[in-house]
């Protein structure tokens, strides 16, 4: 087969997509272009770049060659038409919504979301005149019933935080398209190695690249991706003349690339939510080993979930890889290699809040911190940290059990992780 016709495999694209060796120096690794700006060839060329008549580097708040490699690589892995990298996962969500919506618009979202996203959607979006309604994601009829004439997008997480629920992406994409709106999926917990939402009909995908994509707990980053298939002609901010860009009609001018052009040339330009080239470099290093890391993450997670499930001191385990989990069938459809490496469990105890605290303090290998998706194993007890100000009743209303422990399973030797969990459980009072 001729080389140009070959569709390279996932692992090959993890290592090569978006980059050829540097033509001047021959550098094989992607260089870090740690520059704010780029010298123009002449004044005519400069004018063309500013008018978006020619694509090229202007200023690192808008584009950068190192960041461009990260964007092209993740777009290739997600089967997207392109990507725009951002300073954080929260910035990717903000960029997506500010590019898509007008004041008065509404979003219908799954309620099974990262807590920070719920806060951003509820309070910060309200200041922009955007209202978000939340729905229990498990029943598609509940979604359909909650759509109003103002709903402009459906939103959910591939693997929902913290319950580990699996989103029925295909059914939601059909529902969204029947109402001529896009489905936006946060696929942070899955990564494109475990699930590619665009293959199931999602239109826009966002990630906190801070987690498994970077994979080493060293950089805050985000990215938004477009399938290139959604017809944005009824979305005024993308289809109508844009006063923020001398009347340019992004959708008419750039077609399937219009949403991303607007996101980059207007939203990121004006919010300043750009990724630093150094962090883009670290993310590229992460992507190069994504499949190997994710394979080990899910292998360790499955074994640990089963170990805890069988442990006499454990009350419950919420991992969709377990056969009796309510999301097991959806996990087999959407994440057949394994439903991620982040899950929660509860300890059997008369005082679950105190038991959770005691358990965390007895661990040696797991790091107690507020992050997930690191190469190292992580743990948090929401009732004594992120949710400590809430009563047991308030915790229950928010879906957080007082004894709930969240684990993010890393790449350490499995037997060492099992040893650490077991000794901490033994040290915890019933
Ligand atoms: N989405 C999910 C599922 C997350 O877990 C997080 C952070 O924990 C975010 C988005 C926000 O990402 P960031 O912390 O990179 O802004």
* Res 394: pLDDT: 66
- List, for residues 61-71, the tens digit of each pLDDT value: 999 999 999 99
160 in contact with ligand 1, CB cutoff 6 A: no
Cα–Cα dist 218/290, whole Å: 15
CA of 53 to the centre of ligand 1 (A): 35
142: phi then psi, degrees, rounded to nearest 5: -65, -40
Of the residues 89, 96, 97, which should be mutated to test ligand 1's pocket, given the most ligand atoms within 8 Å of the CB?
89
Q: CATH number for the domain including 234?
A: 3.40.640.10
Helix (H, G, I), strand (E, B) or coil at 303: helix
Relative to the CA of 92, which ligand 1 atom is closest? 16
- List, for residues 283-300, the tens digit of each pLDDT value: 999 999 999 999 999 999
321 in contact with ligand 1, CB cutoff 6 A: no
Question: Is 327 in the same domain as 183?
Answer: no
Question: Is 382 in the same domain as 402?
Answer: yes
What percent of the chain stands above pLDDT 90? 85
pLDDT tier at 78 (50, 70, 90 boundaries)? Answer: very high
Domain ranges, residue 209: 10-287
Domain count, the chain: 2
At residue 382, does pLDDT exceed 90? no
Transcribe 218-287 into DSSP letters. Answer: ----EEEEE-S-S-GGG-HHHHS-BGGGTTB-HHHHHGGGHHHHHIIIIIIHHH--PPPHHHHHHHHHHH
Question: Is 238 in the same domain as 315?
Answer: no
- Please report whether residue 326 resides in a domain: yes
pTM > 0.85 = yes
Q: What are the angstrom distances between the C-alpha of 240 and each of 55, 235, 262, 306?
A: 21, 8, 12, 54
- Please report whether residue 283 resides in a domain: yes
Question: Is 358 in the same domain as 379?
Answer: yes
CA of 371 to the centre of ligand 1 (A): 9
339 in contact with ligand 1, CB cutoff 6 A: no
Question: Is 184 in the same domain as 201?
Answer: yes
* Res 385: pLDDT: 78
Q: Other CB atoms closer than 10 Å to residue 96's CB: what's the count? A: 27
CA of 89 to the centre of ligand 1 (A): 5
At residue 2, does pLDDT exceed 70? no
Question: Is 92 in the same domain as 219?
Answer: yes
**Token pair listed for 421:** 């969990």
Question: Is 279 in the same domain as 351?
Answer: no
Q: Cβ neighbours of residue 13 under 8 Å, at least 6 residues apart?
A: 73, 76, 77
Q: CATH number for the domain including 380?
A: 3.90.1150.10
Q: Final residue of a domain: which of 253, 287, 321? A: 287
Question: Is 320 in the same domain as 268?
Answer: no
């Amino acid at each position: 087969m001729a080389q140009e016709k070959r569709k390279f495999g996932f692992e090959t694209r993890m290592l090569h997509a978006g980059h050829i060796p540097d033509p001047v120096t021959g550098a094989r690794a992607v260089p870090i272009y740690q520059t704010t700006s780029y010298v123009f060839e002449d004044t005519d060329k400069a004018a063309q770049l500013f008018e978006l008549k020619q694509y090229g580097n202007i200023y690192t708040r808008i584009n950068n060659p190192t960041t461009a490699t990260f964007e092209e690589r993740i777009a290739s892995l997600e089967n997207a038409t392109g990507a725009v990298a951002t300073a954080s996962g929260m910035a990717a969500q903000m960029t997506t919504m500010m590019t898509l919506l007008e004041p008065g618009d509404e979003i219908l979202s799954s309620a099974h979301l990262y807590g920070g996203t719920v806060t951003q959607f509820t309070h910060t979006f309200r200041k922009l005149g955007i209202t978000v309604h939340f729905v229990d994601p498990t029943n598609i009829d509940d979604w359909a019933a909650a759509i109003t004439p103002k709903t402009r997008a459906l939103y959910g997480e591939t693997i929902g935080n913290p319950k580990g629920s699996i989103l029925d992406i295909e059914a939601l994409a059909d529902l969204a398209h029947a109402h001529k709106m896009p489905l936006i999926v946060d696929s942070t917990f899955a990564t494109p190695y475990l699930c590619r939402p665009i293959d199931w009909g999602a239109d826009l995908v966002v990630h906190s690249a801070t987690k498994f994509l970077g994979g080493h707990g060293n950089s805050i980053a985000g990215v938004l991706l477009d399938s290139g298939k959604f017809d944005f002609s009824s979305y005024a901010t993308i289809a109508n003349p844009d006063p923020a860009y001398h009347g340019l009609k992004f959708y008419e001018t750039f077609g399937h690339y219009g949403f991303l052009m607007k996101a980059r040339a207007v939203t990121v330009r004006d919010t300043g939510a750009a990724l630093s080239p150094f962090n883009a470099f670290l993310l590229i290093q992460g992507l190069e080993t994504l499949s190997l890391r994710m394979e080990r993450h899910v292998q360790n997670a499955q074994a640990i979930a089963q170990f805890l499930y069988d442990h006499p001191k454990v009350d419950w385990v919420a991992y969709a890889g377990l056969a009796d989990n309510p999301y097991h069938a959806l996990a087999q459809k959407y994440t057949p290699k394994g439903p991620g490496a982040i899950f929660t469990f509860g300890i059997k105890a008369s005082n679950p809040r105190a038991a959770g605290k005691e358990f965390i303090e007895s661990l040696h290998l797991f790091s107690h911190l507020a992050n997930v998706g690191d190469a190292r194993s992580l743990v948090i007890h929401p009732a004594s940290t992120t949710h400590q100000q809430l009563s047991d009743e308030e915790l229950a209303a928010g879906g957080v059990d007082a004894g709930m422990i969240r684990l993010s399973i890393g790449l350490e030797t499995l037997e060492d992780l099992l040893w650490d969990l077991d000794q901490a459980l033994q040290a915890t009072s019933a």
